[in-house]
A and B are shown apart, each in its own frame.
Chain A
Amino acid sequence: MRARTPLVVSAALVLIPLLVALFGPLLNLDSRPGLPYESGSGHPLGTDGLGRDVLELLLVGGRTALGMALGAVAIAYLLGGVIGLVAASTRHRWIDELLIRPLDVLLPLPSLLVISVVAVGWRASPLAITLAVAMVNVPTVARLVRAAALEAASGPVVEALRMQRESWVGIHLGYVGRAVLGPVAADVGTRITLAVFLVASVNFLGLGLSPTAPDWAVSVSRNREGLLLQPWAVLAPALMLVAFTLGFNLLADRLVHRTRRLVEVDR
């Protein structure tokens, strides 16, 4: 096994942006507006293109940047997980077909495309974007959960449990559900990274939140012309996003290596 980044480092990379996003809005800096792209003079990280305090924006902007992505992954797992588990544990083949086949159609749809279409109707609505990002992820999650559950459900353990007259709920939620957790845990990390990217790209393109929102991705987009004048206005929110996704990538890498020996991770 190759040397890996210590767990503390990966965890810190994830936790710092997460804590900023969670508790940042509670801190009230109450800073007065300054000139555009000012550095120093009472603003630790300077001001942005509209003269607003970068540190204050940074503390407020995490909620949408991470919240929308995390919410989308949670919804995707709730829906996709149920679909996958039901498809894998049903004894009626037609239910399995009915649940999984339609997802094959959705799979090749480019994600940003779906979201752009949603953005036509529900502009600047965080809920609509979150739901769209969730929908894009449902097919993959459902297939992953189904594959992992099938593998567990067709094994000798389930056979033994059945012979001992264990209840359906006991077998499927107790044993199969737990067996699915390994591959799921490995997938969650990469899926969160992808969701953060997707939400950030949508917001960066101006298809999501309003262009003056404090959101990290919107800040990078809005202040990019001033990168040389006042680098922190772009770099601070960008670093938050990068730290979060990098941390999750490292954690996912660690988990994949641990579970690979047990279950071949599909997609």
Chain B
Amino acid sequence: MRSYAAQRAALAILQLAALSVLVFVLTALLPGDAADMRFTETLTPDQVARLREQLGLDEPAFERFTHWFGNVLSGDLGTSLISGGPVLDIVKASVGATLVLTLATLAVVIPLAVALGILMGTRENGRLDRTLTSITLGLSAIPDFVIAVVLVALFSLKLGWLPATWVGGSLLASPALLVLPVAVLLGRTVCLLSRQVRAGTINALHADYVVQARRLGVPRRRLLLRHVLPNAAVPGVQELARTGDTLLGGVLVVEAIFAIPGFATALVDGVETRDVPVVQGLTLVLAVAALLINLGADLVCNRLVPRTELLR
């Protein structure tokens, strides 16, 4: 157990190092930079060159990388080329809204998906299972922006029950603002997760040890909670880590539609103004978060079912 955790953590550290190189290379390779982007119309080529020197864009890529990486290690993500403020401030300002959105969604998704998955799995091929399976299969085929557009039209424009866009203030202070975004994010993630939990439940129910436990007269409730659920949860937790990807994509879309000033909005702004340090910083923070989520999921799975080995 301990050696698994150590191995997995070592892999994560390797991934982290490789990721930071990757993020830098990806952004450094890009054609054109912020100096071209903003000033070509108003400045002479000479002035653009001087500006580039000032911003440190003329140094060789390797030197820029060591400089940037050294700073990142000491917690300095650089300075925005557009606003001139530290990237860390932009990260801090936008992380709250995204975190609230994500956590609120997960708080609903996890219990709902587990409950639905077990409900479907224990009634394999029954009428309820068939209906729910069809619904989840269908719902997971609808892009989240389509759901968002339709929900906004219906509940805020037509019925006027819920606000359509963020108007300022804290997300937590006005839960009504969260209802539609969370509903949008819920759709696909619940479907993907509950299908995995269903499959895990069915597999566990057919396993020899459960058949034997049932034969020995273990009560159904205890059987489900103590024997089936931990095994059924493994594909669910692994899927949850992967759902992080879907969820993040969803969060980007939802923030754009509801004009929530979160990570995604900052990222899209950075892309639009070609503010490379901001994009680098945000990408790095998000990539690290994704890595940690994966690490956490693998450790939890190993805890639930200790026989899982380090995937290669």
Residues of A within 8 A of B32 (CB): 121
Do the beta carbons of B27 and A116 come within 8 Å of each other? no
Do the beta carbons of B11 and A205 come within 8 Å of each other? no
CA distance A238 to B143 in the complex (A): 9
Interface residues of A in 100-122 (CB under 8 A from B): 100, 102, 104-114, 116-122
Selecting from A18-26, A71-79, A243-251, the interface stretch reads A243-251
Cβ of B276 < 8 Å from any Cβ of A?
yes
Residues of B within 8 A of A113 (CB): 248, 267, 283, 286-287
With contacts A110-B249, A201-B252, A221-B145 taken as known, whether A207 is within 8 angstroms of B283 at the C-beta atoms is no
**Pick from A102, A204, A234, A248: contact of B253, CB under 8 Å:** A204
With contacts A121-B31, A220-B149 taken as known, whether A198 is within 8 angstroms of B249 at the C-beta atoms is yes
Interface residues of A in 57-98 (CB under 8 A from B): none
Q: How far is the CB of A131 from chain B (nearest CB, A)?
A: 12
Residues of B within 8 A of A47 (CB): none
A selection of 8 A-B contacts at a CB cut-off of 8 Å is: A5-B134, A104-B11, A104-B15, A110-B290, A117-B279, A120-B270, A205-B252, A227-B157
Cβ of A241 < 8 Å from any Cβ of B?
yes
Do the beta carbons of B287 and A2 come within 8 Å of each other? no
Do the beta carbons of B129 and A2 come within 8 Å of each other? yes
Chain A interface SS verdict (over half): helix
Residue in A closest to B276 when the chains form the complex, CB atoms: A120
Interface residues of A in 212-267 (CB under 8 A from B): 217, 220-221, 224, 227-228, 234, 238, 241-242, 245-246, 248-250, 253, 267
Do the beta carbons of B252 and A112 come within 8 Å of each other? yes
**B binding-site residues for A, Cβ under 8 Å:** 11, 14-15, 18-19, 22-23, 26-27, 29-32, 125, 129-130, 133-134, 137-138, 140-146, 149-150, 152-153, 157-158, 242, 244-245, 248-249, 252-253, 256-257, 267-268, 270-271, 274, 276, 279, 283, 286-287, 290-291, 293-294, 312
Residues of A within 8 A of B283 (CB): 113, 116-117
Residues of A within 8 A of B29 (CB): 121
Cβ of A193 < 8 Å from any Cβ of B?
yes
Do the beta carbons of A116 and B267 come within 8 Å of each other? yes
**Pick from B134, B153, B287: contact of A110, CB under 8 Å:** B287
CA distance A220 to B149 in the complex (A): 8
Residue in B closest to A237 when the chains form the complex, CB atoms: B146
Do the beta carbons of A238 and B290 come within 8 Å of each other? no
Do the beta carbons of A238 and B146 come within 8 Å of each other? yes
Do the beta carbons of B137 and A105 come within 8 Å of each other? no
Cβ of A1 < 8 Å from any Cβ of B?
yes
Do the beta carbons of B26 and A227 come within 8 Å of each other? no
Q: How far is the CB of B273 from chain A (nearest CB, A)?
A: 9
